[in-house]
Structure 1
Amino acid sequence: MPGLIRAAARTAVIAGTATSVSNRVSRRQSNRWAQQEYENQQRYAQPQPVPQAAPPAPPAPAASPAPDTIEQLKELGALYQQGILTEQEFAAQKAKILGS
């Protein structure tokens, strides 16, 4: 019988300790969540500063010259000679290069 009482007492102590630890962990986690919620509310409750108007962008530099037209035409001609481009595609691309 003394072994039975000892086992019951031991179980009660273990269960009590587990309950106490579990409650403390839950309480600490709840406090952390409450603190985070409070900080979020404070962050969004404060008026946000109005951004100042951005200074105007500097004027764009003069249009840079188009890539070397001759080189583009040579590359286009090579593609046409290799049979990669059809005559219509070649003519359209050539007009595009010369037109720009």
Structure 2
Amino acid sequence: MGLIGGMARTAVVAGTATAVSNRVSRRQAGRWQAEQQQQVEHDYYQQQQAQPTYAAAPTYAAPPPPPPVAPAPAPAGSSGSDALIEQLQRLGALRDQGILTQAEFDAQKAKLLAG
């Protein structure tokens, strides 16, 4: 073999070595990337497991409505006429203060006397 044959053979060997080296490098990089991705996923999973989970807030039934308010009993010894007189006196005081007009006073007085 001559000089050219030796050079050609060297070129083929060098080219093959480069191709093999590149392939090994790509495979190794792919493996490292896959391992890194698995580690990231594992770390994420661990973080999710470490975080406390909160239960949904319990729902409670609505409280029952309050009992109806009973009218206040009349004070002992008071008759209905005493209460009527007190209401008429209050209306008169409101009229005297200028809060009620004479017409409004007369209308309210008529309602009290009729009722």
State the TM-score, normalizing by the size of structure 1.
0.52
Q: Which residue of 1 aligns with 2:57?
A: 52
Q: Is 1:29 aligned with 2:41? A: no
User: In structure 2, what is the Cα distance between the partners aligned to 1:56 and 1:12?
Assistant: 78
- Offset from partner CA, 1:44-88 (integer Å, 9 cap, x none): 11111132113449xxxxxxxxxxxxxxxxxxxxxxxxxxxxxxx
Q: Which residue of 2 aligns with 1:5?
A: 10
Q: Which residue of 1 aligns with 2:47?
A: 42
Runs of 4+ deviating beyond 3 Å: none
User: In structure 2, what is the Cα distance between the partners aligned to 1:27 and 1:17?
Assistant: 15
Aligned amino acid, residue 13 of structure 1: T
User: In structure 2, what is the Cα distance between the partners aligned to 1:3 and 1:22?
Assistant: 29
User: In structure 2, what is the Cα distance between the partners aligned to 1:28 and 1:21?
Assistant: 10
**Which stretches in structure 2 are left out of the alignment for 5+ residues?**
1-5, 63-115
Larger RCO of the pair (alpha carbons < 8 Å, separation 6+): 1
State how many pairs are aligned. 57
Q: Which residue of 2 aligns with 1:71?
A: none
Aligned amino acid, residue 27 of structure 1: W
1:9 CA displacement = 0.2
